[in-house]
Structure 1
Amino acid sequence: MIRDTIKAAQVAAMKSGDKPRLAAVRLILAKLKDKDIELRTASAVPEDDVLVTDVLQKMAKQRRESITLYEQGGRQELADVEKAELAVIEEFLPQQMSEDDTKAAIAAIIAETGAAGMKDMGKVVAALKAKHGTQLDMGKASGLVKAALAG
Protein backbone atom coordinates (compact mmCIF):
# COMPACT_ATOMS: atom_id res chain seq x y z
CA MET A 1 0.00 0.00 0.00
CA ILE A 2 1.16 3.50 -0.81
CA ARG A 3 0.38 4.74 2.71
CA ASP A 4 2.83 2.21 4.21
CA THR A 5 5.54 3.31 1.78
CA ILE A 6 5.01 6.94 2.86
CA LYS A 7 5.26 6.00 6.56
CA ALA A 8 8.46 4.05 5.87
CA ALA A 9 9.86 7.09 4.04
CA GLN A 10 9.11 9.22 7.11
CA VAL A 11 11.13 6.88 9.33
CA ALA A 12 13.99 6.76 6.81
CA ALA A 13 14.06 10.56 6.54
CA MET A 14 14.14 10.87 10.34
CA LYS A 15 17.04 8.41 10.62
CA SER A 16 19.04 10.09 7.85
CA GLY A 17 18.39 13.60 9.19
CA ASP A 18 17.03 14.81 5.83
CA LYS A 19 14.94 17.69 7.17
CA PRO A 20 13.43 19.00 3.87
CA ARG A 21 12.35 15.49 2.84
CA LEU A 22 10.98 14.78 6.32
CA ALA A 23 8.95 18.00 6.22
CA ALA A 24 7.48 17.07 2.81
CA VAL A 25 6.60 13.53 3.95
CA ARG A 26 4.96 14.91 7.09
CA LEU A 27 2.91 17.28 4.93
CA ILE A 28 1.66 14.31 2.91
CA LEU A 29 0.78 12.36 6.06
CA ALA A 30 -1.04 15.39 7.50
CA LYS A 31 -3.13 15.76 4.34
CA LEU A 32 -3.96 12.05 4.45
CA LYS A 33 -5.04 12.35 8.07
CA ASP A 34 -7.26 15.32 7.16
CA LYS A 35 -8.85 13.24 4.40
CA ASP A 36 -9.37 10.28 6.77
CA ILE A 37 -11.13 12.56 9.24
CA GLU A 38 -13.25 14.06 6.47
CA LEU A 39 -14.31 10.57 5.35
CA ARG A 40 -15.37 9.36 8.82
CA THR A 41 -18.92 10.47 8.09
CA ALA A 42 -18.92 9.40 4.42
CA SER A 43 -21.24 6.60 3.39
CA ALA A 44 -18.78 5.09 0.93
CA VAL A 45 -15.03 5.20 1.53
CA PRO A 46 -12.81 4.61 -1.53
CA GLU A 47 -10.06 1.99 -1.55
CA ASP A 48 -7.03 3.27 0.39
CA ASP A 49 -4.60 3.47 -2.56
CA VAL A 50 -7.20 5.40 -4.60
CA LEU A 51 -7.68 7.79 -1.69
CA VAL A 52 -3.93 8.29 -1.19
CA THR A 53 -3.35 8.80 -4.93
CA ASP A 54 -6.14 11.38 -5.09
CA VAL A 55 -4.62 13.34 -2.20
CA LEU A 56 -1.13 13.14 -3.75
CA GLN A 57 -2.40 14.29 -7.15
CA LYS A 58 -4.09 17.33 -5.58
CA MET A 59 -0.93 18.17 -3.64
CA ALA A 60 1.21 17.86 -6.79
CA LYS A 61 -1.17 20.12 -8.72
CA GLN A 62 -0.99 22.75 -5.96
CA ARG A 63 2.82 22.63 -6.01
CA ARG A 64 2.96 23.03 -9.80
CA GLU A 65 0.67 26.08 -9.61
CA SER A 66 2.75 27.60 -6.80
CA ILE A 67 6.00 27.03 -8.70
CA THR A 68 4.59 28.88 -11.72
CA LEU A 69 3.39 31.79 -9.58
CA TYR A 70 6.66 32.07 -7.64
CA GLU A 71 8.73 32.02 -10.82
CA GLN A 72 6.53 34.69 -12.40
CA GLY A 73 6.95 36.77 -9.25
CA GLY A 74 10.74 36.39 -9.28
CA ARG A 75 10.81 34.34 -6.04
CA GLN A 76 13.10 31.51 -7.18
CA GLU A 77 14.02 30.45 -3.62
CA LEU A 78 10.33 29.75 -2.85
CA ALA A 79 9.88 27.99 -6.19
CA ASP A 80 12.86 25.74 -5.33
CA VAL A 81 11.23 24.74 -2.02
CA GLU A 82 8.01 23.85 -3.85
CA LYS A 83 9.98 21.88 -6.48
CA ALA A 84 11.66 19.84 -3.74
CA GLU A 85 8.26 19.06 -2.18
CA LEU A 86 6.84 18.16 -5.59
CA ALA A 87 9.71 15.72 -6.20
CA VAL A 88 8.94 13.95 -2.91
CA ILE A 89 5.18 13.85 -3.65
CA GLU A 90 5.76 12.44 -7.15
CA GLU A 91 7.88 9.59 -5.72
CA PHE A 92 4.76 8.12 -4.14
CA LEU A 93 2.40 8.60 -7.09
CA PRO A 94 1.77 5.52 -9.23
CA GLN A 95 3.36 5.59 -12.68
CA GLN A 96 1.30 7.90 -14.88
CA MET A 97 0.04 6.78 -18.28
CA SER A 98 1.73 8.35 -21.30
CA GLU A 99 -0.29 10.66 -23.53
CA ASP A 100 -0.51 7.99 -26.25
CA ASP A 101 -1.74 5.38 -23.75
CA THR A 102 -4.27 7.88 -22.42
CA LYS A 103 -5.58 8.58 -25.93
CA ALA A 104 -5.87 4.83 -26.58
CA ALA A 105 -7.80 4.33 -23.31
CA ILE A 106 -10.12 7.23 -24.21
CA ALA A 107 -10.74 5.76 -27.68
CA ALA A 108 -11.55 2.37 -26.14
CA ILE A 109 -14.01 3.91 -23.66
CA ILE A 110 -15.69 5.98 -26.39
CA ALA A 111 -16.12 2.76 -28.40
CA GLU A 112 -17.46 0.88 -25.34
CA THR A 113 -19.94 3.56 -24.30
CA GLY A 114 -20.96 4.53 -27.81
CA ALA A 115 -20.30 8.19 -26.96
CA ALA A 116 -21.21 10.46 -29.84
CA GLY A 117 -20.40 14.04 -29.07
CA MET A 118 -19.94 16.52 -26.27
CA LYS A 119 -23.17 15.53 -24.48
CA ASP A 120 -21.49 12.21 -23.59
CA MET A 121 -18.31 13.78 -22.19
CA GLY A 122 -19.35 13.25 -18.56
CA LYS A 123 -20.03 9.57 -19.18
CA VAL A 124 -16.63 9.08 -20.85
CA VAL A 125 -14.72 11.00 -18.16
CA ALA A 126 -16.49 9.01 -15.40
CA ALA A 127 -15.64 5.70 -17.07
CA LEU A 128 -12.04 6.83 -17.62
CA LYS A 129 -11.67 7.83 -13.97
CA ALA A 130 -13.18 4.52 -12.81
CA LYS A 131 -10.78 2.45 -14.92
CA HIS A 132 -7.59 4.52 -14.88
CA GLY A 133 -8.10 7.23 -12.25
CA THR A 134 -4.90 6.56 -10.29
CA GLN A 135 -2.75 6.59 -13.43
CA LEU A 136 -4.03 9.81 -14.98
CA ASP A 137 -3.94 13.53 -14.45
CA MET A 138 -7.69 13.98 -14.89
CA GLY A 139 -7.24 17.66 -15.81
CA LYS A 140 -5.18 16.73 -18.87
CA ALA A 141 -7.33 13.68 -19.59
CA SER A 142 -10.58 15.65 -19.74
CA GLY A 143 -8.99 17.94 -22.36
CA LEU A 144 -8.06 14.88 -24.40
CA VAL A 145 -11.61 13.50 -24.04
CA LYS A 146 -13.03 16.83 -25.22
CA ALA A 147 -10.69 16.79 -28.25
CA ALA A 148 -11.59 13.17 -29.06
CA LEU A 149 -15.35 13.83 -28.87
CA ALA A 150 -15.17 17.10 -30.80
CA GLY A 151 -13.04 15.61 -33.54
Structure 2
Amino acid sequence: MENLKARLREDMKKHLKAGNRVELMTVRNLLGEINTREKGGKTPMEMDDAAVTSLLQKEAARRRETAQTYSEVGAEDRAAAENSEAGIIEAYLPAPLDAAAVQGIIDDALDTLREEGNELSMRSMGQVMKLVSAEVSGRFDGKKVSEMVRSSLA
Protein backbone atom coordinates (compact mmCIF):
# COMPACT_ATOMS: atom_id res chain seq x y z
CA MET A 1 0.00 0.00 0.00
CA GLU A 2 1.31 3.41 -0.94
CA ASN A 3 1.74 6.05 1.71
CA LEU A 4 -0.26 9.25 1.98
CA LYS A 5 2.49 11.56 0.70
CA ALA A 6 2.96 9.41 -2.42
CA ARG A 7 -0.80 9.47 -2.98
CA LEU A 8 -0.85 13.27 -2.68
CA ARG A 9 2.02 13.56 -5.19
CA GLU A 10 0.27 11.23 -7.66
CA ASP A 11 -3.00 13.13 -7.28
CA MET A 12 -1.19 16.43 -7.85
CA LYS A 13 0.04 15.09 -11.21
CA LYS A 14 -3.46 13.89 -12.10
CA HIS A 15 -5.01 17.25 -11.21
CA LEU A 16 -2.33 19.07 -13.19
CA LYS A 17 -3.02 16.95 -16.31
CA ALA A 18 -6.80 17.21 -15.87
CA GLY A 19 -6.71 20.97 -15.27
CA ASN A 20 -8.47 20.77 -11.89
CA ARG A 21 -7.25 24.10 -10.55
CA VAL A 22 -8.81 24.05 -7.07
CA GLU A 23 -7.77 20.46 -6.38
CA LEU A 24 -4.28 21.09 -7.77
CA MET A 25 -3.80 24.21 -5.64
CA THR A 26 -5.09 22.47 -2.51
CA VAL A 27 -2.92 19.37 -2.90
CA ARG A 28 0.10 21.48 -3.85
CA ASN A 29 -0.38 23.59 -0.70
CA LEU A 30 -0.63 20.43 1.43
CA LEU A 31 2.58 19.02 -0.04
CA GLY A 32 4.26 22.38 0.56
CA GLU A 33 3.18 22.33 4.20
CA ILE A 34 4.46 18.75 4.61
CA ASN A 35 7.76 19.73 2.98
CA THR A 36 8.09 22.77 5.26
CA ARG A 37 7.51 20.64 8.35
CA GLU A 38 9.97 17.99 7.22
CA LYS A 39 12.76 20.37 6.29
CA GLY A 40 12.10 23.08 8.88
CA GLY A 41 13.42 22.93 12.41
CA LYS A 42 16.85 21.91 13.59
CA THR A 43 16.94 18.43 12.09
CA PRO A 44 15.16 17.32 8.89
CA MET A 45 12.77 14.44 9.41
CA GLU A 46 10.41 12.27 7.40
CA MET A 47 6.71 12.52 8.29
CA ASP A 48 4.93 9.15 8.52
CA ASP A 49 1.30 8.59 7.58
CA ALA A 50 0.08 9.29 11.12
CA ALA A 51 1.81 12.68 11.15
CA VAL A 52 0.53 13.51 7.66
CA THR A 53 -3.00 12.49 8.67
CA SER A 54 -2.77 14.73 11.73
CA LEU A 55 -1.59 17.62 9.55
CA LEU A 56 -4.44 17.04 7.07
CA GLN A 57 -6.99 17.06 9.91
CA LYS A 58 -5.66 20.39 11.15
CA GLU A 59 -5.65 21.87 7.65
CA ALA A 60 -9.25 20.73 7.00
CA ALA A 61 -10.39 22.09 10.37
CA ARG A 62 -8.63 25.39 9.69
CA ARG A 63 -10.42 25.74 6.37
CA ARG A 64 -13.80 24.92 7.94
CA GLU A 65 -13.19 27.61 10.62
CA THR A 66 -12.16 30.13 7.96
CA ALA A 67 -15.30 29.29 5.95
CA GLN A 68 -17.40 29.88 9.08
CA THR A 69 -15.76 33.28 9.55
CA TYR A 70 -16.39 34.21 5.91
CA SER A 71 -20.04 33.12 6.25
CA GLU A 72 -20.49 35.29 9.33
CA VAL A 73 -19.35 38.39 7.41
CA GLY A 74 -21.40 37.55 4.32
CA ALA A 75 -18.58 36.47 2.00
CA GLU A 76 -20.37 33.32 0.85
CA ASP A 77 -18.22 32.84 -2.27
CA ARG A 78 -15.05 32.74 -0.18
CA ALA A 79 -16.74 30.49 2.39
CA ALA A 80 -17.72 28.08 -0.41
CA ALA A 81 -14.11 28.05 -1.69
CA GLU A 82 -12.78 27.22 1.81
CA ASN A 83 -15.40 24.48 2.27
CA SER A 84 -14.48 23.07 -1.13
CA GLU A 85 -10.81 22.88 -0.12
CA ALA A 86 -11.76 21.27 3.19
CA GLY A 87 -13.75 18.64 1.30
CA ILE A 88 -10.76 17.88 -0.94
CA ILE A 89 -8.51 17.47 2.11
CA GLU A 90 -11.05 15.33 4.00
CA ALA A 91 -11.12 12.87 1.09
CA TYR A 92 -7.58 11.86 2.13
CA LEU A 93 -8.53 11.24 5.75
CA PRO A 94 -9.60 7.84 7.10
CA ALA A 95 -13.33 7.38 7.49
CA PRO A 96 -14.54 8.73 10.84
CA LEU A 97 -15.89 6.32 13.42
CA ASP A 98 -19.17 6.66 15.25
CA ALA A 99 -19.51 6.42 19.03
CA ALA A 100 -20.81 2.82 18.88
CA ALA A 101 -17.76 1.66 16.90
CA VAL A 102 -15.42 3.41 19.33
CA GLN A 103 -17.21 1.81 22.30
CA GLY A 104 -16.73 -1.57 20.64
CA ILE A 105 -12.99 -0.88 20.28
CA ILE A 106 -12.84 0.18 23.95
CA ASP A 107 -14.67 -3.01 25.01
CA ASP A 108 -12.25 -5.13 22.95
CA ALA A 109 -9.28 -3.39 24.59
CA LEU A 110 -10.74 -3.99 28.06
CA ASP A 111 -11.33 -7.68 27.22
CA THR A 112 -7.75 -8.01 25.92
CA LEU A 113 -6.31 -6.52 29.11
CA ARG A 114 -8.52 -8.75 31.29
CA GLU A 115 -7.39 -11.84 29.34
CA GLU A 116 -3.78 -10.84 30.04
CA GLY A 117 -4.63 -10.99 33.74
CA ASN A 118 -4.78 -7.27 34.42
CA GLU A 119 -7.00 -5.98 37.21
CA LEU A 120 -8.80 -3.05 35.62
CA SER A 121 -9.28 0.19 37.52
CA MET A 122 -8.84 3.89 36.84
CA ARG A 123 -5.09 3.24 37.06
CA SER A 124 -5.44 1.19 33.87
CA MET A 125 -6.52 4.27 31.94
CA GLY A 126 -3.14 4.67 30.23
CA GLN A 127 -2.98 1.04 29.12
CA VAL A 128 -6.51 1.16 27.71
CA MET A 129 -5.95 4.51 25.99
CA LYS A 130 -2.77 3.19 24.37
CA LEU A 131 -4.64 0.25 22.82
CA VAL A 132 -7.68 2.29 21.83
CA SER A 133 -5.75 5.27 20.46
CA ALA A 134 -3.82 3.02 18.10
CA GLU A 135 -7.10 2.07 16.39
CA VAL A 136 -9.11 5.30 16.54
CA SER A 137 -6.35 7.84 16.01
CA GLY A 138 -7.54 10.52 13.63
CA ARG A 139 -10.97 8.99 13.27
CA PHE A 140 -12.69 10.16 16.46
CA ASP A 141 -12.26 13.00 18.95
CA GLY A 142 -9.55 12.04 21.46
CA LYS A 143 -11.22 13.91 24.31
CA LYS A 144 -14.45 11.96 23.83
CA VAL A 145 -12.50 8.69 23.63
CA SER A 146 -10.88 9.53 26.96
CA GLU A 147 -14.29 10.23 28.53
CA MET A 148 -15.68 6.95 27.15
CA VAL A 149 -12.72 4.96 28.49
CA ARG A 150 -13.06 6.66 31.87
CA SER A 151 -16.77 5.79 32.11
CA SER A 152 -16.05 2.20 31.03
CA LEU A 153 -13.50 1.80 33.80
CA ALA A 154 -15.68 3.42 36.47
The answer to whether the Cα contact below 8 Å between 1:115 and 1:124 also exists between their aligned partners in 2 is no
Greater relative contact order (Cα < 8 A, sep 6+): 1
1:11 has 2:13 as partner: yes
- Deviation string, structure 1 residues 29-72 (Cα, Å, up to 9, x no partner): 01111221247727x966x2112211111111212222222222
Fraction of identical pairs, as percent: 22
Q: Which runs of 5+ in 1 are unaligned?
A: none
1:132 has 2:128 as partner: no
The answer to whether the Cα contact below 8 Å between 1:106 and 1:145 also exists between their aligned partners in 2 is no
- Who is 2:56 aligned against? 56
Matched to 2:34, the amino acid is L
- TM-score, normalised to structure 1, is 0.76
Give the deviation of 1:125 after TM superposition.
4.2
Give the deviation of 1:105 after TM superposition.
1.8
1:7-86 aligned at under 5 Å gives the runs 7-38=9-40, 41=43, 48-86=48-86
The answer to whether the Cα contact below 8 Å between 1:102 and 1:141 also exists between their aligned partners in 2 is no
Who wins on radius of gyration, i.e. which is larger? 2
- Who is 2:150 aligned against? 149
Give the deviation of 1:99 after TM superposition.
2.6
CA distance in 1, matches of 2:16, 2:104: 42
The answer to whether the Cα contact below 8 Å between 2:23 and 2:85 also exists between their aligned partners in 1 is yes
RMSD after superposition: 2.8
CA distance in 2, matches of 1:50, 1:144: 18
The list of structure 1 runs, each at least 4 consecutive aligned residues, that deviate by more than 6 angstroms after superposition, is none
Q: Which runs of 5+ in 2 are unaligned?
A: none
Matched to 2:150, the amino acid is L
Matched to 1:66, the amino acid is T
CA distance in 2, matches of 1:38, 1:122: 32
The answer to whether the Cα contact below 8 Å between 1:67 and 1:79 also exists between their aligned partners in 2 is yes
Name the structure with the higher helix share. 1
The answer to whether the Cα contact below 8 Å between 1:13 and 1:22 also exists between their aligned partners in 2 is yes
